[in-house]
Structure 1
Amino acid sequence: MWYRFFRRCFYLFFFFFFRWEVIGKEKVPATGPVVLCCNHIDNLDPPLVGASLHRQVYFMAKEELFRIPVLSWLLHRFGAFPISRGKSDRQALKTSLELLKQGKLLGVFPEGTRSKTGDLGEAHTGAAFIALRGEAVVVPAAIIGPYRPFRKLRIRFGDPIDLSVYRQDRTNSQSVREVTDRVMNEIRALQEQR
């Protein structure tokens, strides 16, 4: 209930204050486990992605945000869960895989932090690892900003990426790196379509 309420609020916010355009949302599977990988340019990225889709999107958020009482309450209502950045976080991995096992949609920013320039940064391999282990479909997405009131703001969703060829050895570090590179190349291609 809370998620639908906030999704509607953010939908109206982006609709009225930005020339918001959502492209390709029909490419996101309506059911089943999905890892949605997107570039990260602003703190508003998670609500933008969530407001763009009918399915609930579950996000990882840095654990520091959950130490702020009101924000922690809101994040939990949004379906977010904490992750410790800069180290292996077994609990976040476990939560991610459990969500995928339940057929949910997990939103991940592979860069791990916001880009100050809008250019894609170096990606971590966590999203690829989770997608391979969780038997999920990967959908790339690109937010094309910047966030400026009454200026064009786009989010473009790409075609799902078939990972079956990489699933022969789901823990193989080479496969995880190849999937990560492929996902980032797809995000870059979506950015360039403008």
Structure 2
Amino acid sequence: MEKKVPYSEFGYKVFYKIRPALKKLLKINVVGLENIPLTGGCILAANHRSHLDPPVLNIISPRPIIFLAKKELFEVPILGWIIKKAGAIPVKRDNRDLSTIKKAISLLKEGYVIGIFPEGTRARPGEFRKPQPGVGYLIEKAKVPVIPILVEGTDKILPVKSKFPKLFKYNIDVIIGKPINFEGISSYEHVAEKVMHEIKKLKEVKRDG
């Protein structure tokens, strides 16, 4: 019996056909795409400033990304339907939602890509929030490559509380780092902090570029 994928295959086929147009429309620049593994389970960990972040990451990723998303988003008309079709996993407010973590780990073992936002919610423009310790718990248990990603510009195109994107005015920069080494880190909190530290460091890559 053929294994059923956790997202709409038809939806992703359509999405992949229009990705080049979406990338041009949103003026997305990408650095470090080669750092995303083409096979095997891995976690993509990015900063979060806009509801535009998940689709932008799926636009540039060579593989479908299954995001962990706040449970409340699944109740939003249209958006809730879209993220369900994309295979998103609902996350409760509890940092250590064990059922969510078990599902994410199971998908990682099956070779899928899981996308997370360590801050847990959107940060203010140009800022970073403190990472959630539950992120460290997931990473520690999953034991797969974790790829740090910096996304900048999405908060200008679709700011918090904005209903419509401000297209054509701004660029979006996506900087993808190399897998993080967690050797010697002793606690979930420190693992989460390490992830955010590596994401912030990618600002230097952008500046040098």
Alignment TM class, shorter chain as reference: 0.7 to 0.9
Residue 188 of structure 1 corresponds to 200
- 2-side partners of 1:94 and 1:46: how far apart? 21
Structure 2 unpaired stretches of 5+: 1-9, 158-165
Q: Does 1:3 align with 2:12?
A: yes
Number of residues of Structure 1 aligned to a counterpart in Structure 2: 186
TM-score, length-normalised on structure 1?
Answer: 0.87
Residue 39 of structure 1 corresponds to 47
Q: Does 1:137 align with 2:156?
A: no
Structure 1 unpaired stretches of 5+: 167-173
Structure 2 matches for 1:62-73, cutoff 5 A?
Answer: 62-68=70-76, 70-73=78-81
- Residues 157-192 of structure 1 deviation map (CA, whole Å, 9 limit, x = unaligned): 0001123544xxxxxxx4322222221111101123
Give, as a single letter, the amino acid of the residue that structure 2 aligns with 1:24: G
- 1-side partners of 2:17 and 2:72: how far apart? 26
Distance 1:14 1:85, change over 3 A: farther
Q: 1:34·1:136 contact (CA, 8 Å) conserved in 2?
A: yes
Residue 68 of structure 2 corresponds to 60
Q: Does 1:12 align with 2:24?
A: no
- 2-side partners of 1:98 and 1:48: how far apart? 25
Choose from 163, 173, 177 the match for 2:182.
163
Choose from 147, 150, 153 the match for 2:172.
153
**Deviates most, 148-157 or 67-76:** 67-76
SS at match of 2:187: helix
Question: What's the Cα RMSD here?
Answer: 1.9
Distance 1:30 1:164, change over 3 A: farther
Give, as a single letter, the amino acid of the residue that structure 2 aligns with 1:191: K
Residue 169 of structure 1 corresponds to none
TM-score, length-normalised on structure 2?
Answer: 0.81
Distance 1:50 1:176, change over 3 A: same
Percent identical pairs in the alignment equals 32
